[in-house]
Structure 1
Amino acid sequence: MKRLFYIIFLLAFPLAVHGQNDPKALSILDNFSSTVAAAPSVSMKFIMVTDDQLEKSSDTISGMILLSGDRYKLELHNNIIWYDGRDSWSYLPNEKEVTITRPDKNDNSFESRPSSIFTIYKTGFKSRLVEEKRDSYLIDLYPEEIKNELIRIRLTIKKPSPDLISFEYKRRDGITITLLVQDYSLKQQADPGMFRFFPEKYRDVEIIDMR
């Protein structure tokens, strides 16, 4: 009988965790989010690891990103993306071409709106403080919608200053994206021109306007 109760407890525990918000986790996340909102920008150098469990493959790239509100400039080895809050420019140096698009402002996915890292917990997710260490917090976010493509988002946040250490994005299709932050700064003053593509700075580039 005790064994039966133990099994029932183990089965029910994850449901209980997913069904409620952890007040301490919310407090940490609120501090994390408000600190970013009060800063002129967020600048990060990172390593991004993409693991495909089904294909048993892994890919690692390094890059840097500058964010100010929803605007950003993302620099990768073979791609630079600017977004000024309305239009997006994707520049491929090897192909010498730039594609201009106008993204859907209602798309809050991490891929389309990187700044959602700092606010995604506020809507559609339950939070849980998994572990508190001497120098960091480990927090899991679970989607409230069962059919969501996400299984879990995991953030590691530094303490006492709420800097981002890592961000893990685990999907149902077997893909896990992990962002490992190497350098994190909230001090850079971001000029609006940093988030736009200027053709005169890139000679002999083909411009493909998809707006």
Structure 2
Amino acid sequence: MLGKIVFIIIISSFHILLGVINFIVGILSSIRSRVWMAHTVSPIWSGILYIVSGLCGLAMFKQRSQYTILCFAASNSMTLIATIVNMQFLRYGLVNHTTLGRTFQKENKDILLIIGLFVSGLELLNCLISFSMSFKLNHDAKNNRFKTHRKEGAFFVQIVSDKDIVVVQSKANKNQNGLFSAQAISVLIKNNLPKTHVENV
């Protein structure tokens, strides 16, 4: 499991790196062009989606749960679609279109468009790898193969083992002047017959 998490950090960082490169390519291409076309601005919004996908992966590393895993998978699906559309726009930027509907390749090809196509190809492969890792992590989360420690509001849930779930109430705030002490509730599930054990801390 630790190896998968480290691999997620690597591919998430690669998402962010490719997103920054694609965003810079889009900015430079927009500045150089006299008229904004689809292939000049598409690297900008696609680069932003690459960065968002990478940030979702880093957030999943910080808080490992099914929600963050599904969020990472959803962001990868959006990034995958944006990458395919971006590659089509960049491909159209390498050819000229006539009024008769014919196309022919440009003699002087823009190096920025070629860089954008190369970056988009790498991002396409990275999205597919991220998809496979998301599915594996989601399968592990359903089978409780790693411990979860999720804090939400006044309570947080900690899964100790397959048959031991601990629900802990957070300590009282300073505004409560210490009138309420924390409580730990351990629910032991054995043979599908739940038994509750309450401890006051």
With the shorter chain as reference, the TM-score category is under 0.3
Of Structure 1 and Structure 2, which has the larger fraction of its residues in helix? 2
Structure showing greater radius of gyration is: 2
Higher relative contact order (CA 8 A, sep 6+): 1
**TM-score (ref. length: structure 2):** 0.25
